[in-house]
Amino acid sequence: MNFIKRGFLGITRKKGKSLILLAVIFILGNLISGAVSIQQSTDNVESTIKEKLGSSATVELDYEAIDELSEAELMDLEIQDVDIDLIKQIGGLSYVKYYDYSMPTYLGSENIESYQDEEMGEEVITHGPSMDFMLKGINYAPVLDFKEEKGKLVDGRVFTEEEIDEGDSVTIISKKLAEKNNLHVGDTFTLDSAVYDFDENGEEDLIGSRDVVLEIIGIFEPSSIKEDQDENPENGMMDMMDSEYQNTMYVPNEVVIAEENYQMEQLMQADEAFAAMLEEEEVTFENYTPIFVLNNPEDSEAFEEEVAPLLPELYTVVSATDQYDSISGPIDSMSKLAKYVLIASVIATVLITGLVVLLFLRDRKHELGIYLSLGEKRARVVGQILIEVMVIAFIGLTISLFSGKILAEQVSDTMMKADDHEPSFEDMMFVGEMQTNMTTDDVIDSYEVNLNASYIIGFYVISLLTILISTAIPLVYIVRLNPKKILM
């Protein structure tokens, strides 16, 4: 009949009190379990979404900093370009898995037709000369968009290093564009590099034109930018994004630069004042957008810290993971609420369980006095009570582990429905090359309350520690017990 056995007998022989304590711990355990469960789930959402957002980063003008400049400062402002050497230097950092820098230009064609989304119908009204095709110059031969699964190659091949370096007239076009114009790998087509000038009335005037003949080396398919979208009128923006990507043609950067140069030369020939101004200011036509894919999304912060000092004034690093904050609203508020509930429930558990245990101990004063009169060590009497409370607590908490999960699911559902809205353009992330169609709904969809190991361990550690603290306080009562006063 040692103190451990006495502890277990105390539970079974005092069923009423054990059940009351079990009920109290079960109720409080539900609060802790629910709060821990929501916290864990929101943490999981953050890592899942950041993983989905990818680990890309770019360097761009810090528009917020520019907005803060005074008018005088703006007048004197000379914005430097991010040159290729700097891009290569950043690309050489250990955080970077691979990188690219690209430059786009828009061309029209009389030889091929652009892809138009049927659902968009007549809604798209274009003004001015047709510039339906975006030539996306790239420097990374395997095509970074394919590596990042924005699109995938379904036919042909990607570029070779030689084609990129020498600026060969080769291209990779979308499957839908190829199908619409009955084009295949190995075929060639012609784009018009037309240069227009506009008079005072806004009338266009063709000042130069030349053919750009490209050979198709590969065909790609976008990775479902429109997938799973319902009949939401705001989806028009996504349709447009889809159409633009379908009409995108990957080419070596040199192809784009050649057309940019041609167009500028034509404009300079047509307008001497413009030519004089450009010569005076030594304007270059190479303006690249770099994109760096990091080894790990968690490296974003360290990457930003290391790159920031290398950048010209008024430039900043923007990471894909930065966008999480803009779409994490419902999850953030739930995470905050769960944190407050957890703190409140831990305090309530300490107070309520402590009070219940103290009342039970007062009720058992006589029994405890008997043990002490028999010479039992106070530590063992304390141990007996701890065993009783902790065994009941373990049972109560284990039941509440499951019911708390259900509670957490219900609370989360209600909260997210209250905060739910259709995906809108504002929710989507647009950061140049890193645009993604991820919305608040994706964040909510990623939310899932799971009984995983970290949740179970986290819950047991927090709740058992709370019960231990709440029991330890009234146990001081045992230490102060005087058996003579109780028994004689």
Q: How far apart are CA 432 and CA 59, in angstroms?
A: 10
DSSP-based helix, strand, coil % in the chain, nearest 5: 60, 15, 25
Mark the segment that binds other proteins (CB under 8 A) among 71-79, 367-375, 428-436, 469-477. Answer: 367-375
Mark the segment that binds other proteins (CB under 8 A) among 3-11, 121-129, 136-144, 432-440. Answer: 3-11
Closest separation between CB of residue 375 and other proteins, Å? 3
Q: 251 to each of 143, 165, 187, 248, how far by Cα in Å? A: 10, 11, 15, 10
Footprint on residues 426-485 left by other proteins (CB under 8 A): 483-484
Length of the chain: 488
Contacts of 385 (CB under 8 A, 6+ apart): 7, 357, 361, 471, 475, 478
151 conformational bin, left if phi > 0, alpha if psi -120 to 50, beta if neither: beta
User: Of 26, 288, 371, 459, which one interacts with other proteins (CB under 8 A)?
Assistant: 371
Burial of 14 (0-12, 13-18, 19+ CB in 10 A): middle
Closest separation between CB of residue 485 and other proteins, Å? 9
Q: How far apart are CA 116 and CA 132, in angstroms?
A: 10
The residue (of 354 and 483) whose beta carbon lies closer to other proteins is 483
Q: How far apart are CA 111 and CA 406, in angstroms?
A: 61
Closest separation between CB of residue 12 and other proteins, Å? 9
Q: Does 369 participate in binding other proteins (rule CB under 8 A)?
A: yes
Closest separation between CB of residue 372 and other proteins, Å? 8
User: Of 152, 184, 362, 366, which one interacts with other proteins (CB under 8 A)?
Assistant: 366
Tell me, residue by residue from 9 to 48, as one string, x for binding to other proteins by CB under 8 A and - for no binding: xx--xx----------------------------------
Token pair 């905060």 is at which residue?
Answer: 419
The residue (of 18 and 42) whose beta carbon lies closer to other proteins is 18
Identity of the amino acid at 347: I
Footprint on residues 375-434 left by other proteins (CB under 8 A): 375-377
Closest separation between CB of residue 487 and other proteins, Å? 5
Where does 324-436 have alpha helices with state H? 324-327, 329-363, 365-373, 378-419
The residue (of 26 and 371) whose beta carbon lies closer to other proteins is 371
The residue (of 97 and 380) whose beta carbon lies closer to other proteins is 380
Closest separation between CB of residue 481 and other proteins, Å? 12
Closest separation between CB of residue 19 and other proteins, Å? 15
Q: What angle do CA 46, 50, 52 make, to 5 degrees?
A: 120
User: Of 27, 131, 370, 415, which one interacts with other proteins (CB under 8 A)?
Assistant: 370
End-to-end CA distance of the chain: 25
Mark the segment that binds other proteins (CB under 8 A) among 8-16, 85-93, 246-254, 433-441. Answer: 8-16
Q: How many residues touch other proteins (CB under 8 A)? A: 24
Q: How far apart are CA 466 and CA 462, in angstroms?
A: 6
Mark the segment that binds other proteins (CB under 8 A) among 228-236, 237-245, 374-382, 454-462. Answer: 374-382
Q: Which residues bind other proteins (CB under 8 A)?
A: 1-3, 5-6, 9-10, 13-14, 366-367, 369-377, 483-484, 487-488
